[in-house]
Structure 1
């Protein structure tokens, strides 16, 4: 059910988004005035490839994923979005239909901002436009890194690299997505991911706990493995 987003309830999503964090309360009210909220069940499609790109979607609660399908029907997960993150920004700069699709990974509430009205606000408040450009630059950098990793690095190297990155210097990784989505983001099948995780566990590099938790047992050896898997 759609509802008007006020800053007292679902409109808090506009306060969560980094591109709006430099705006005053009055300016946030302007954003809330052009924002509506909608709830989605787990597994429900938010938009499909081919849909018109006329809105910016902000995750207020829950989780969503953006993905594409190959001509053979294989899913490629592009990214997983958490509360405060947004999607659909590319449609603000061109009028082509969406090339990907978005799905609610959990029961979610999204705030939707009309693209034409948002562009008017971007003209009035250049800081919004600059922050959207910064986010687009970060996403482009991550996409280029993924392409490089898939083309130049082995499956083992990609997995070691992402585990060390996700651990952020700690010894624990908690996946915020299914292993199928995780594998897709790494450009491999779920079966390959499971095989390589089991191999890392047998080599005492990691310890698997349940479906989502991974303990890094030997980050030094994992880093060496990332550099040269044949040395292990």
Structure 2
């Protein structure tokens, strides 16, 4: 069960970790912090689910969050993985939204919730904030279109190569070894992300290792031995 936040540093750190909000003046940051709370979640805990109403912007302060959507038959599609500094709930800035996705903590996670109305009021007063949110929303649309292209035009090997390279790039600033990838999700979730079964994923990873393109180390660590070859199959 989520734990309510005891007033402290988290809202301030959340705001400073989000590039869109870094451009706020000290007075504007104080306004946002006064409209913020922080909650903690355990691994596997559902943060929100379809049908819930929301008027908040959700920012990951620490940990990671899986945003997914389920079909009527229960099939899962992972929309994206949120890391510290990432946010969701941006539609609440424009209307009182009924949520259609599920958010689940992938590890012990702390979330900062900011009242959407405070951000939308800031956007009206400060156009540069509105432009930043529009840029981020456009980026997410482009990512969704790219994902649709992968699922319809790429085979499983190509989709796996692409997601491994993308994850490696996303972790570029978080590690000392440039060719070491720590999977941010389980193998089961990775299979869902590329639209295949866990068994098929295991076979493809083994094939990549046999080809000398990667080296598997435990459940989550992958050494990318030959990025050029992975790029060539795309």
TM-score relative to the length of structure 1: 0.89
Do the aligned residues in 1 keep the contact of 2:93 with 2:120 (CA within 8 Å)?
yes
- CA shift digits 1:47-77 (9 cap, x unpaired): 1111112111011111111111112211111
TM-superposed CA distance for 1:117, in Å, is 2.5
Hey, what does 2:121 align to over in structure 1? 120
Matched, 1:201 2:209: yes
Pick aligned residue for 1:2 from 1, 4, 15: 4
SS at match of 2:54: coil
Q: How many residues align?
A: 225
TM-superposed CA distance for 1:209, in Å, is 0.8
TM-superposed CA distance for 1:46, in Å, is 0.8
Do the aligned residues in 1 keep the contact of 2:5 with 2:40 (CA within 8 Å)?
no
Spell out the pairing of 1:57-76 with structure 2 (5 A cutoff): 57-76=58-77
Do the aligned residues in 1 keep the contact of 2:94 with 2:120 (CA within 8 Å)?
no
CA 1:159–1:137: 2 relative to 1, 3 Å: same
TM-superposed CA distance for 1:21, in Å, is 0.8
Do the aligned residues in 1 keep the contact of 2:10 with 2:112 (CA within 8 Å)?
no
Q: Distance in 2 between matches of 1:19 and 1:36?
A: 19
TM-score relative to the length of structure 2: 0.88
Hey, what does 1:166 align to over in structure 2? 167
Q: Distance in 2 between matches of 1:223 and 1:61?
A: 31
Q: Distance in 2 between matches of 1:5 and 1:108?
A: 17
Do the aligned residues in 1 keep the contact of 2:67 with 2:80 (CA within 8 Å)?
yes
Matched, 1:225 2:226: no
Q: Distance in 2 between matches of 1:143 and 1:5?
A: 36
Spell out the pairing of 1:1-232 with structure 2 (5 A cutoff): 1-3=3-5, 8-168=9-169, 170-226=178-234
- Structure 2 residue ranges without an equivalent (≥5): 173-177
TM-superposed CA distance for 1:214, in Å, is 1.4
